[in-house]
Amino acid sequence: MTIRVGIVGATGYTGLEAIRLLLSHPQAEVVVATSRADAGKPIAEVHPMLAGRLDLELTQLDASKIAQTCDVVMCCLPHGASAQTVKELVQHGTRVIDFSADFRLSNVPLYEKWYGVTHPWPERVGKTAYGMPEFFRDQIQDADVVANPGCYPTSAILPLAPLVQNGLIDASDVIVDSKTGVSGGGRSAKLAMLYCETNESIAAYGVGNHRHQPEIADLVQRISGTELDVTFTPHLAPMSRGILSTIYTKPNQASAKDVMQCWQDTYSDSVFVTPVDHLPATKHVAGTNFVQMTVREAGKRLILICAIDNLAKGASGAAVQNMNVMFDQPESTGLS
Amino acid sequence: MTIRVGIVGATGYTGLEAIRLLLSHPQAEVVVATSRADAGKPIAEVHPMLAGRLDLELTQLDASKIAQTCDVVMCCLPHGASAQTVKELVQHGTRVIDFSADFRLSNVPLYEKWYGVTHPWPERVGKTAYGMPEFFRDQIQDADVVANPGCYPTSAILPLAPLVQNGLIDASDVIVDSKTGVSGGGRSAKLAMLYCETNESIAAYGVGNHRHQPEIADLVQRISGTELDVTFTPHLAPMSRGILSTIYTKPNQASAKDVMQCWQDTYSDSVFVTPVDHLPATKHVAGTNFVQMTVREAGKRLILICAIDNLAKGASGAAVQNMNVMFDQPESTGLS
Amino acid sequence: MTIRVGIVGATGYTGLEAIRLLLSHPQAEVVVATSRADAGKPIAEVHPMLAGRLDLELTQLDASKIAQTCDVVMCCLPHGASAQTVKELVQHGTRVIDFSADFRLSNVPLYEKWYGVTHPWPERVGKTAYGMPEFFRDQIQDADVVANPGCYPTSAILPLAPLVQNGLIDASDVIVDSKTGVSGGGRSAKLAMLYCETNESIAAYGVGNHRHQPEIADLVQRISGTELDVTFTPHLAPMSRGILSTIYTKPNQASAKDVMQCWQDTYSDSVFVTPVDHLPATKHVAGTNFVQMTVREAGKRLILICAIDNLAKGASGAAVQNMNVMFDQPESTGLS
Amino acid sequence: MTIRVGIVGATGYTGLEAIRLLLSHPQAEVVVATSRADAGKPIAEVHPMLAGRLDLELTQLDASKIAQTCDVVMCCLPHGASAQTVKELVQHGTRVIDFSADFRLSNVPLYEKWYGVTHPWPERVGKTAYGMPEFFRDQIQDADVVANPGCYPTSAILPLAPLVQNGLIDASDVIVDSKTGVSGGGRSAKLAMLYCETNESIAAYGVGNHRHQPEIADLVQRISGTELDVTFTPHLAPMSRGILSTIYTKPNQASAKDVMQCWQDTYSDSVFVTPVDHLPATKHVAGTNFVQMTVREAGKRLILICAIDNLAKGASGAAVQNMNVMFDQPESTGLS
């Protein structure tokens, strides 16, 4: 069996990472890659690391053609633009894994408040599978659209959700302090993403108003049934890849041991989520779909620490994992 | 006037940074530099960036000789070892700026609890000037020993102390999430400090048990008179220099504007502490003695963000600033 | 079919990279991993990125046990120590891929001149397959010992050998200026390999006396039949992985086009060696076994530029490729 | 005495570095800073590291106003645009240090061949002081325009010129293999300069056609009287600052010792050029105006290695040094 995959918006970092992963996937083949700006060029001209590895010409997006040649599309467009394209692809009969935030949140007002745009396909908001097989496997399996999770939310929801669900921590007082690599900022020519602007420096950004904050709260609530009050602060660290989230919680009389036990129970069937004793570094999961998490007691607080690769489990790795679920493959195929 | 300076333990990063700063100080001259392991070598052999800039041979420490040739010593030894040397130097009549933690805390039990050693000069603990001229100028001026502040504490005390002192925040619930460059780990051959272990990776360490936690609490209390309950989590970021501290507080009905006003009032005479509107990055203070700090409202919290250079204001820059105070020079001489 | 692999000296970067690659190899399994210093520890304690991925305890080296449990050993010991171990393993009947330089050169005097040690198994020097399947496929297939190539030599021999062989360049006047990532320096606690010593800096080392110079000359001669006079200068660049070699040659009336044609002819059957039009960056081959090379005319010179990943094609990737050849697998299995 | 300095084109890296250096210059004051795109903004908004350090509003360039308020202008515009502005400033009576290449070369045809533009002030080409006080002190002293040297040329001319002048090396066969930090690429939003494009990677660029090649040849010839045939290959290394040039020469029966002696004789009065025994790293001169150079014998070749900071001695540091010469200050004022 071969899953024929299309990559829409293939010139960015998540598109490249998806291709990189699919090249070593025994059951998948990248058959289409689109780009508005670079259509007509060989893909290896845009991504020289694909030279001799993928012989494909970038094309303009054509939803009806894609429907004929692809079993699934990974849509790597920015929010707003993405929903419109997803709608068109689905209406032509293609299954889509959407990398944007357009179908992640539970309701349209929340989306429109945080993203400041009118949603082009509001009927599907809140009815789309959230692409985290650890919690939504069944919905993903049959979905025509999967909302691939945000990178930061992945690093926060996976450690938090089971603890909130099981009442181990106080959901009304949670802080997520996250540090990401620069690839999270995308592959477009922005001054702030220049090497000399980010190298040898760390800084916070989007303090108090980053769009991943409502995604974390919304999904933890969807999974646990409990409202989460979370303060989220992202930081840009001088590295290409990786997210480390340091999460400050107040326990409901739970110990670090209780937390580890809860995680082990929750993730006993998970290939990728790995509770560990050591303090995880982003290096420990770099280039992989793995999630390392641990917990430490610190006075009256429990500190959770979670490391992922923002381009892998935080984006393209999760997409491949979702694709495997959608096409009845073992979740780890092409990802181990 | 020339201040004759000795550097004890000159082969590490703080010793080198002190020398680098003193080379451009119009009133100071490095006349002695000691090293147990490298005595006899020209200093430029150990620090090749000093070739052609400082012609000095590393010597063994000799307290009586130093007393004759130096007006002040910057003692860059590790804790424990440092106190003993400081005692000897002072007894020979030399004024000392001590980079170690040995004289920073208010009392011996606190020191011995966190550092696990018997203090060699307990009489002076709690009676030594803490080298933060922004709060302890008078004591520093006349001191024979100045306890140069810890790097992390500097980045936390400067933003926190005035807010606690003025009752703007709740002192019972503060989190300091700090990120440091690798030079903070010192210049010795440790596996964990290898390039390939720290590059492209970020991780927490010392969670819940780092020795700078009591220093932050102790000093904020000494300045403000109010007990501080602080959770401190340091992280190692892939950069050589810099500390960014993201500090989560709960306001006592204070706004971000109140915080800025309080800082401006407190630091109106300070050359180096700079409240700013932008989100400070460590790059903005790299290689300088400046401190940039700002504040953001985020739901029910006030988030303080403070950037320093760990080797400058966090160590050797503060030492030069202290030296200027001790020898009646403008604080900024050699540091602007 | 499962190839049972032992990793001798598994705590370094090449050992880890070999394991990382073998974990995604469908026909291989790592069954033994040895370490003198860390025997008894779970391997994930030494390499936290293996947590949840490889459940194996590090053991002391026992050649007879290994013979019973392994089909092949990747020996990641330093030169000198390695030859002795290889000898022992082979005498117990195990096939070995040796990462050290001990069996790479053509004769004992050359080895002993450059490595300064007496060779413990001189009979096999010059009679061991050099692990570059692009030129020595047949010898590798039947070998009991394969001398895995040096990292720098790989980046120089692959572009140079066919040009010398076909008389396109003057073999008496070649300069190889190479830049490597820090992982090439190994995983031991050396001051020079600390983050703060190598970060934000580039420097030459081993100028005029690096041991890979004779390896380049020896192998190009073995392949082409022509003596090569080469000046080799390695540089340490502030990155974890990758080698870029910039090679200055004088053409024998050959053009850049002739060079590209010669490479395409030579490597038409090669999976990994990829002549490209663009200027290759180490990023283009990072984490892969691929080799990108190009050529530019510059006045009277032809400049060859070759990029590899020092840990992959420059070490562990080549080892897996060699293993595939030894066990009749497609060369690219586990490497694409 | 106060030298009033204007910075034209102050938003880039060289402009910022010039300001940074001038802030600690006891005899200089930055009184004007211009920017076409950001006029009207406080300079600290564009360069947040100047917050609290320089209170200046960016303005549009006005040559007549500048003539009234500035003793000298550092013109940080790109080639072509620069010559026109320099002409205007000089005609208004302002002395100018020009960071562009517009007045560096000896004749108009050479300039127009390599830069592809018609020179707006051809009368001054070949008659402008080249801003390398080590060789052109007298011309600089009285100049109304100083052509500040290129970064790569500085790292090549300083080691090469005295050796060619004294006949120690064969001027017909020289290779300069240079590695630079990313700040050399300027501060504009280009895809190729993004963090994720340059981090963890090294690559050659401009092979055989970089514009600094004729500058090296032209200046060495102007200094030595001997034509230089040089092959120049620049590389982009993953670091913010620094240039290392590895220079391959053939000696005219000269030894490494002869080279060192020649350099010591040539640079005996130089504050900044430092022949050293160790292999210089860019780290050894980072942030300083110093030049470290050494030599090694390698078979039939002499390899010269030279390290500078591209933003300091390679640009803004040289400009301050030139300014000191122009205004009768010690060369090292503000640079030690």
d(CA D37, CA D146): 26
pLDDT band at A336 (very low <50, low <70, confident <90, very high): confident
B42 with B57: CB under 8 angstroms?
Answer: yes
Summarize pLDDT for A292-327 with one digit per residue, the tens: 999 999 999 999 999 999 999 999 999 999 999 999
Chain D contact for B192, CB < 8 A? no
pLDDT digits (tens, 9 = 90+) for B150-194: 999 999 999 999 999 999 999 999 999 999 999 999 999 999 999
**Catalytic residue annotation of B:** 151
Q: In angstroms, how far is CA C17 from the centroid of its own chain?
A: 12
Q: How does residue B307 score in pLDDT terms, banded at 50, 70 and 90?
A: very high
Predicted local confidence at residue C336, as pLDDT: 82
The closest of B198, B191, B154, B203 to B176, measured between CA atoms, is B154
Indicate yes or no: CB of B237 within 8 angstroms of CB of A179: yes
Task: Kindly tell me if the per-residue pLDDT of A1 is higher than 90.
Answer: no
Q: How confident is the model over B104-133, as a mean pLDDT? A: 96
State the CB neighbour count (10 A cutoff) for residue D141: 15
d(CA D83, CA D120): 6
The residue among D182, D183, D195 with the most chain A CBs within 10 A of its CB, best to mutate, is D195
- How many residues are recorded in chain B? 336
Quick check: pTM over 0.80?
yes
Residue C1: per-residue pLDDT: 82
- Confidence (pLDDT) at C171: 98
| CATH superfamily of domain region B3-148+314-326 | NAD(P)-binding Rossmann-like Domain (3.40.50.720)
DSSP per residue, C147-188: EPPPHHHHHHHHHHHHHHHTT-B-TTSEEEEEEE-GGGG-SS
Q: Which two tokens stand for residue A95?
A: 């299954």
Q: In the beta sheet, which residues pair with residue D246?
A: D177, D305
Q: Chain C partners of A200 at a C-beta cutoff of 8 Å?
A: 200
Q: List pLDDT tens digits, range D262-317.
A: 999 999 999 999 999 999 999 999 999 999 999 999 999 999 999 999 999 999 99
* Number of neighbouring beta carbons within 10 Å of residue D277: 12
pLDDT tens per residue across span D156-189: 999 999 999 999 999 999 999 999 999 999 999 9
Element (H, E) at C110: helix C108-115
- Kindly tell me if the per-residue pLDDT of B1 is higher than 90: no
- pLDDT given for residue D77 in this prediction: 96
D151-310 architecture in CATH?
Answer: 2-Layer Sandwich (3.30)
Let me know if B116 is exposed, middle or buried by CB neighbors in 10 A (0-12, 13-18, 19+): exposed
The angle formed by the CA atoms of residues A301, A302 and A304, to the nearest 5 degrees, is 140
The token pair that represents A62 in the structure block:
């054509």
Active site residue C151: yes
Shortest alpha-carbon distance between residue D48 and chain B (Å): 6
- From chain D residues 244-283, the ones with a CB under 8 A of any chain B CB are 274, 276, 278, 280-281, 283
The answer to whether B41 faces chain D, any CB pair under 8 Å, is no
Q: Average of pLDDT values for A126-139?
A: 97
Closest residue to C189, CB basis, from B189, B238, B239 = B189
CA distances (Å), origin D335, targets A221, C132, D130, D317: 59, 52, 20, 7
B15: part of which helix (H) or strand (E)? Answer: helix B13-23
The DSSP string of B260-295 is HHHHHHHTTT-SSEEE-SS--BGGGGTTSS-EEEEE
Q: What distance in Å separates residue A284's CA from the closest CA in chain C?
A: 4
DSSP state of B335: T
Identify which of B201, B280, B297 has the shortest CB distance to residue A208: B297
Catalytic hit among C76, C151, C262, C306 = C151
Token digits of residue D26: 């006891």
Contact C239 D200 (CB under 8 A): yes
Chain A: closest CA distance from residue B102 (Å)? 24
In the predicted model, what is the mean pLDDT of residues C207-224? 97
Among all residues of chain D, which has the CA nearest to that of B52? D274
Mean pLDDT, all residues of chain D: 97
d(CA D219, CA D134): 13
Residue ranges, CATH 3.30.360.10, chain C: 151-310
Q: From A124, A148, A121, select the one nearest A320 (Cα to Cα).
A: A148
Q: Closest partner residue to C336 among A23, A288, A336, by Cβ?
A: A23
Angle, CA of C315, C316 and C322, to the nearest 5°: 95
Q: Does B196 lie at the interface with D, CB-CB under 8 angstroms?
A: no
Taken as a whole, chain D contains a residue count of 336
**In chain A, which segments carry CATH 3.40.50.720?**
3-149+314-326
d(CA A107, CA A217): 13
Residues of D in contact with A204 (CB under 8 A): none
- Give residue-wise pLDDT tens across range C71-118: 999 999 999 899 999 999 999 999 999 999 999 999 999 999 999 999
Do strands A230-236 and A174-180 pair parallel, antiparallel, or not at all (unpaired)? parallel
CB B241 within 8 A of CB B181: yes
Per-residue pLDDT, A323: 98
Q: Where are the beta strands (DSSP E) in chain C?
A: 3-8, 28-34, 72-75, 95-98, 129-130, 145-147, 174-180, 203-204, 230-236, 243-249, 273-275, 291-298, 301-308
Residues 6+ apart with CB under 8 A from B301: A175, A231, B248, B249, B250, B251
Average of per-residue pLDDT across D322-332 = 98
At residue C272, does pLDDT exceed 90?
yes
Whether residue D1 has pLDDT greater than 90: no
Q: Is C170 on the interface with D (CB under 8 A)?
A: no
Note the pLDDT tens digit of each residue in B286-303. Answer: 999 999 999 999 999 999
Q: Which of A45, A194, A200, A241 to mutate to test the interface with D (most CBs of D within 10 A)?
A: A194
Q: Does domain D3-149+314-326 have CATH number 3.30.1490.20?
A: no
Termini Cα distance of chain A: 19
Strands of A174-180's sheet in order across: A203-204, A230-236, A174-180, A243-249, A301-308, A291-298, A273-275
| pLDDT score of D336 | 82
- The verdict on C203 touching D (C-beta cutoff 8 Å) is yes
pLDDT tens figures, D31-63? 999 999 999 999 999 999 999 999 999 999 999
> Which of these is catalytic: A76, A151, A262, A306?
A151
